[in-house]
Amino acid sequence: MANVLYDALFAPHAQNDRDFLILPDGSTLAYHAFVAEIARLAGALVALGVEPGDRVVVQTPKSARALALYGACVQSGAVLLPLNTAYTAAEVDYFVGDAQARVLVCDPAAVERLGPIAEEHGAILQTLDAAGEGSLAALAADQPARFETVARDADDLAALLYTSGTTGRSKGAMLTHANLLSNTEVLVDAWRFGADDVLLHALPIFHTHGLFVATNISLLAGGSMILLPGFDLEAMLRWLPKATTMMGVPTFYTRLLDDPRLRPELVGHFRLFVSGSAPLLAETHVEFEARTGHRILERYGMTETNMNTSNPYEGERRAGTVGPPLPGVSLRVVDPETGAALPRGEIGMIELTGPNVCQGYWRMPEKTAEAFRPDGYFITGDLGCIEEDGYVRIVGRGKDLVISGGFNIYPKEVELLLDEQPGVLESAVIGAPHPDLGEGVVAVLVPRAGASLDAEAIAASVRDGIARFKQPRRYYVVDELPRNTMGKVQKNLLRERFSDAFAR
């Protein structure tokens, strides 16, 4: 039976003897073995009662089996909901409840924290650890290496990826089989991926970049991936000579540049370096070329839209731009107030449409309606312009968002928590330039009359509420927040004032 994504990405490899994964200890996993593992995991999901369309929430360390679990969700018709491993129990609670998960897969070390959450929401708890072992692995081991693929159409959901809103709760972007496959096909072609490519994979597998862009492209092209648990500089330097391509957030590149061992000999054989998820400074682009001879290919994407634009493989990779729209993507820049299209060169809101754009937000029709124009264009919240020759330049964000090391932090969520702290009248959370992470999280606090604030005590008390990467790394106390005549906090003034919060 037809299953759009499975048939394109996984089924063709059922008899493929070539290596798909190269693991940190040097061992390899052949394509056919990966497909068999997917079948066993799909059998395990069905044995647990998973039915087509059910949500499977996964918060596990990165491993070959965790990656196979993505394939298993596709093959069994389930909807994968991957979660950042840094999320606290309170955060996981929301996702499991909102998505009405059938299964929650977590690290065995998290069972005590997450067991009650699974129980409360009627989800079945399973485990997978960093070695890919756990109750789900044990269940899968008893399943056959073949699984009757569940039929899924182009418009059926493959994944729910949550992104926070500028106000209020996190929203699940509904990604269909067609959304994911169409983008993969375009990127394999645009970036010339082939079966001889070896991709150095150090990104997390709970976000689009590591999960869909890197993995789906490798699968469709039939290439292999060196699957590292995360970004470790020594491991990167060890593995770079064995790879031909790498995808990373800008922090990957600045960290490599900070090491004198990044020399042309190390990467002379490389075919392609891709950067995305956060702005790559033009100086990083220039410095990387000077040090290695490679021009990083920068592209622009979003959880809701997959990849939208890309600098060309052949042709000029222009520093400070994200390149023209990818084939099939129609992109325009409009006046944020009126929605009127702006001429080339003028800065406004970036809006786009194409087969890559998600179907809206899970069970939030009003949020979906707000995110799209009546003619179907998705409002990205990013500000930019289209240069005369079609290259897109992102110049800022119309949405209140901090991107730190490629992770998104929505200030509102942090501010709500800070405002609850004793002695705090109000707060503003901003991003300040950070030498390693691009932006770092800064909290500006206003005390209640007569109160004196203890930043350390406040930092300690927000610790269990939100993931570590969202927690402010600098606290400042001010008498009042700057406001415009409408009473809105002028964060641009705060960003200027605290721009050196993380100065080297």
Q: How far is the CB of 494 from ligand MCA (least distance, A)?
A: 19
Question: What's the length of the chain?
Answer: 504
Instruction: Give alpha helix (H) positions in 122-190.
Output: 135-141, 177-190
What residues from 319 to 378 belong to the interface with ligand AMP (CB under 6 A)? 322
Indicate the pairing of strand 392-397 with strand 402-404: unpaired
Residue 216 binds to ligand MCA (criterion: CB under 6 A): no
Closer of 230 and 328 to ligand MCA (Cβ): 230
CB 378 within 8 A of CB 352: yes
User: For residues 137 and 463, what is the distance between their CA atoms, to the nearest angstrom?
Assistant: 32
404 is an interface residue for ligand MCA by CB under 6 A: yes
Q: Which two tokens stand for residue 469?
A: 């990467």
Min CB(359)–ligand AMP separation in Å: 16
- Alpha carbons 466 and 90: distance in angstroms, whole number: 8
Among 138-146, 149-157, 283-291, 298-306, the segment contacting ligand MCA (CB under 6 A) = 298-306
Name which position in 61, 82, 204, 276 contacts ligand AMP (CB under 6 A): 276
Residue 262 is which amino acid? L
Task: Please check whether residue 159 is in contact with residue 175, taking contact to mean a CB–CB distance below 8 angstroms.
Answer: yes
Query: Distance between CA 2 and CA 181 in Å, rounded?
Result: 14
Q: Which of 19, 298, 400, 415 binds ligand AMP (CB under 6 A)?
A: 298
Tokens of 378: 């998705």
Q: Does 278 bind ligand AMP (CB under 6 A)?
A: yes
Q: Which does 404 bind (CB under 5 to 8 A by kind): ligand MCA, ligand AMP, none?
A: ligand MCA
Q: Is 277 one of the binding residues for ligand MCA (CB under 6 A)?
A: yes
Of ligand AMP, ligand MCA, none, which one does residue 249 interact with (CB within 5 to 8 Å by kind)? ligand MCA
3-state secondary structure of 317: coil
From ligand MCA, ligand AMP, none, interface partner of 380 (C-beta below 5 to 8 A by class): ligand AMP
Among 303, 309, 310, 380, binds ligand MCA (CB under 6 A): 303
Residue 322 partner contact from ligand MCA, ligand AMP, none using kind-dependent CB cut-offs of 5 to 8 Å: ligand AMP
**Residue 194: closest CA among 244, 249, 242, 239:** 244
Candidates 57, 203, 329, 333: give the one binding ligand MCA (CB under 6 A).
Answer: 203
Instruction: Verify binding: residue 302, ligand MCA, rule CB under 6 A.
Output: yes
Structure tokens at 194: 């082939």
Query: Hey, which residues between 377 and 396 contact ligand AMP (CB under 6 A)?
Result: 380-382, 394
CB distance 1 to 150 below 8 Å: yes
Which of ligand MCA, ligand AMP, none does 210 bind, CB closer than 5 to 8 A by kind?
ligand MCA
What is the C-alpha to C-alpha distance for residues 356 and 183, in angstroms, rounded to an integer?
6
Number of residues that bind ligand MCA (CB under 6 A): 22
DSSP state, residue 294? P
Q: Which position among 403, 428, 430, 443 is part of the footprint of ligand AMP (CB under 6 A)?
A: 403
Interface residue with ligand MCA, options 44, 437, 444, 494 (CB under 6 A): 437
Residue 38, strand partner residues: none
Give me the helices (H) in 420-470, please.
455-462
Tell me the CA distances in angstroms from 188 to 147, 219, 327, one per residue in order: 28, 10, 12
Which residue ranges make up the site for ligand MCA (CB under 6 A)? 203-204, 207-210, 230-231, 249, 251, 276-277, 301-303, 404-407, 437, 468-469
Which residue ranges make up the site for ligand AMP (CB under 6 A)? 163, 208, 276-279, 298, 300-303, 322, 380-382, 394, 397, 403, 408
